[in-house]
Amino acid sequence: AQRVTQPEKLLSVFKGAPVELKCNYSYSGSPELFWYVQYSRQRLQLLLRHISRESIKGFTADLNKGETSFHLKKPFAQEEDSAMYYCALSAETSGSRLTFGEGTQLTVNP
Amino acid sequence: KAGVTQTPRYLIKTRGQQVTLSCSPISGHRSVSWYQQTPGQGLQFLFEYFSETQRNKGNFPGRFSGRQFSNSRSEMNVSTLELGDSALYLCASSLGRGYSGGSYEQYFGPGTRLTVT
């Protein structure tokens, strides 16, 4: 079975500071990892996925298979980054099923 | 193109009743997944349908069921409602799983807020 853990429920930083949202997973196969974001009163939406290796809105995430981690990073946080962030895993044998972490509420203070 | 729509958006039911929620996926998407979101348990997978067949099921009791129609629209039903079923129910649609085994992006609907009293 797969599991995703986000150790921080709440994270608060100041504008312009670096931010790192942690995500650890357990899965014996080859997972796909994602970060989803939910802004206030908006739908859950995909932020980025490890296979695309893109930088979206200044965020990056690297899959570290040795440490089974997929931490989300941004060098300079902006107030508009304040949102709920979910790390999610898809297993190759599970169709479109996503296993989500508990989420981290990021607040960027002015 | 139009996004995923869910109806109704809000629902209040009494314990013991049953409820049906509806999800219309993005045109061309054949996979529909359902999730339950609560403050205590977070986002929990309920089930996934692909081309009218249930492909995956989460760890929920048999009171939770679903189906998918030939136009890919999906419904989920909860019978004999309990207070603990109060939650936001999210539906997500996608093209499914790609040829290489990777998954396509999932698009989420706004959710149906179910309150059981």
Please report, in tens digits, the pLDDT of each residue of chain A (110 residues total): 889 999 999 999 999 999 999 999 999 888 889 999 999 999 999 999 887 777 889 999 988 989 999 999 999 999 999 999 999 999 877 778 899 999 999 999 99
pLDDT for B32 beyond 90: yes
CA angle, B65 as apex, B61 and B69 as ends, to 5°? Answer: 165
Chain A contact present for B94, CB below 8 A = yes
B100 pLDDT tier (thresholds 50, 70, 90): low
Cα–Cα dist B75/B45, whole Å: 15
Phi, psi of B38 (to 5 degrees): -130, 155
Mean per-residue pLDDT of chain B: 93
pLDDT for B101 beyond 70: no
**Contact residues, chain A to chain B, C-beta under 8 Å:** 32, 43-46, 49, 51, 86, 90, 92, 94-103
pLDDT at A28: 86
